[in-house]
Structure 1
């Protein structure tokens, strides 16, 4: 009888240990199933998103159509290849940071203190510095021949006519999910312009290479639709010019001009002030 308490204590101990094991198994197999299932799949599956080309926006030139009988369109919003300049702070020795920041500040027109702040992360393998950099500027970056500075290409929205019809097009900006149309046509027709993502998926070996014999799943990306406006480039330009002159004459701060085809109702020009440059 004197040992009964020890037996009782032993069973209590086993009970709590068993309960803990069961609780852990329940957590792993039920509560956290999706998480660990995704980890397991990631170890033997390749999945790569394929991004579509955003649809472009065009305006017409009725004067050319009148002369030739053929439709002629000018790009109002297109996709253009730019470059991103980024830092690799772990490859920049501390004694070189000051001089490198001076050079980058001049080339990229960035504040030196901002550059130094991003450099002062010695274990960081990647620190973005500037987006939408023109190719000519990247040549100057390459001439630095510094392992602490990198360049990668990226596609951004570009508006060849700058502020012309800028209030009509709107612009493409960034949110938590990536690039998105904001305001104007870019925002209103976001779903039509952005297209649909695709993907390629397959099995990979222990080295991370695709295994052709196991096949693959492929869904091509669907590019966005183009928009062709009834706006005429020449009439739009003239309307904006006239509006600027009227505002200056009457010392006004805002105004609008709309030109319409009286037979069809098609909008030929839509000028508004104040205006902005969607490239900036």
Structure 2
């Protein structure tokens, strides 16, 4: 009895052990084979971490190395819902983050308390709370989290784009947005040079202990990264500041829809300053008006009015149709041509005057008659040779080319209207480029905005090429002197832009006052006032256009609205550039800075 009982117990125990062994084998199979991938991934997530390392986005400077766009440290604040704790802890943490970061409480609480992704059943181990938190605030929150013993809060040291000069150069620079982990440049130079300023990034798998501490030697696995190239613009920050300050004054004085100015080196095409109002602060885009963000200088075109006349008259001089003393009958101020009356501006009337005086007093009829002498083909070819209807060479996009009809689509009036800046549109950049050609003797240079790039690691500089045009618009080497001598008179007593003159220098230029087309009809109340010129006239340091769109005061002419702004900017810029005066100015005539 005892022996049988003992054997039975042995058999039962053996069966139980066998069953346990079989279940362990089944369990091991399930773990090692069936759930291998799942458990491996879980272990990997527990004892390894993915570390993304990236360099800094390249910075942007003016031509002299003044910082225009930089990077500054910030903190991304995130959380691991699985580490936070129960609902009480979630609520407490959500309330704190809501108060400190000004984020929506309900949204944050829902994200902190949702620990499993319903779509795939996986644990949620990372939710972003707020990106690009100022470093000082981030450090304060980090301190509080440690003090209050909150769990699961993640701090990621990052850098963010900042614009130290606020509105200065904003429409040229553009800005960037962050979409997830992707940098999205929004217009301006930020978009143009995005490939060059984008840093390299690396992703590495780093092993760590159960407590999250990296194992010895794991730092060596982090791959090297490279910062993006730094970019140097042709812009001069001190002169840009002068230009923008003057535009602010124009906006206050005339309450226009917009105002803009462009200054360029006529020999290289370098943009020295370029600004518009309204503008915006790229550091605070929450208050940004989309109208202010858009770059009017590259995207908008306008009927130029009388600033167009210098190009047509210069071509007529060059081709020998007229000379400075040629007399033209300006019909007393009203001329019937092709069934329509062409009148002089502001009711002025001129009879027989010289070509020189046609430019000085800005005669519509005189310029139109010169164009008729030239003929349709020569007028159109001249407009094209001066760069109208074409891109300027500047790297900003989008860029308008304006609207202009080919000669075969002209009606009988067109040949008398295009030369006085009516019936077609140009961009501010095209006009500056055309006057660069007048200033430098006929070379149509491409406009430039990027001077060079620099590799921050090696210090190697890549200079952007200056493309010099082949040949000249002018066949006669004396043409430049003839047209410039006429344009000098525009800024002297009796000219339309006496207020553009700068004491101590010869200034050459031209005024323009264009009626805006509203619903297909030229308006008698809405105008675009402009002045474009260069100084010193015989060896220019720069060409500059100032344009004011719809000045609201009674005096809306280019000589009244835009010419004084040219004067104020030019005299300060000449001083910064150390351009010596051409003649002495009596003390009583010296101008105070405005």
**Pairwise TM-score range, normalised by the shorter structure:** 0.5 to 0.7
Which sections of structure 1, spanning at least 5 residues, go unmatched?
A: 1-38, 61-71
Q: Which moved more, 1:76-85 or 1:254-263?
A: 254-263
Instruction: Give the length in aligned residue pairs.
Output: 220
* Alpha-carbon separation, structure 2, partners of 1:113 and 1:176: 21
Q: Partner residue of 1:225?
A: 229
Tell me how far 1:228 sits from its aligned partner.
0.7
1:199–1:221 Cα contact (<8 Å) kept? no
Q: Give 3-state SS (helix, strand or coil) of 1:239's partner.
A: helix
Tell me how far 1:114 sits from its aligned partner.
2.8
Q: CA-to-partner distance for each residue in 1:127-146, whole Å, 9 max, x for gaps?
A: 10111111211233121331
* Alpha-carbon separation, structure 1, partners of 2:112 and 2:201: 35
Q: Partner residue of 1:269?
A: 273
Structure number with the bigger relative contact order (C-alpha 8 A, sep ≥ 6) is 1
* Alpha-carbon separation, structure 1, partners of 2:204 and 2:86: 40
2:74–2:138 Cα contact (<8 Å) kept? no
Matches within 5 A, 1:77-116: 77-90=69-82, 91-116=84-109
Distance 1:111 1:266, change over 3 A: same
Provide TM-score, normalisation by structure 2: 0.33
Matches within 5 A, 1:137-148: 137-142=137-142, 143-144=144-145, 145=148, 146-148=150-152
Tell me how far 1:57 sits from its aligned partner.
0.5
Alignment of 1:236 with 2:240, yes or no, is yes
Q: Give 3-state SS (helix, strand or coil) of 1:131's partner.
A: strand
Q: CA-to-partner distance for each residue in 1:127-181, whole Å, 9 max, x for gaps?
A: 1011111121123312133114221111222222222211111122234771233
In terms of Rg, which structure is larger? 2
Distance 1:162 1:266, change over 3 A: same
Matches within 5 A, 1:107-126: 107-123=100-116, 124-126=124-126
Tell me how far 1:119 sits from its aligned partner.
2.2
Identify the match of residue 56 of structure 2 among 41, 53, 58: 53
Provide TM-score, normalisation by structure 1: 0.65
Q: CA-to-partner distance for each residue in 1:59-98, whole Å, 9 max, x for gaps?
A: 14xxxxxxxxxxx421111222210111233314212344
Q: CA-to-partner distance for each residue in 1:26-84, whole Å, 9 max, x for gaps?
A: xxxxxxxxxxxxx9xx9xxx997653332210014xxxxxxxxxxx4211112222101
Q: Partner residue of 2:251?
A: 247
Tell me how far 1:198 sits from its aligned partner.
5.8
Distance 1:97 1:47, change over 3 A: closer
Report which of the two has the higher share of strand: 1
RMSD: 3.5
Tell me how far 1:260 sits from its aligned partner.
2.1
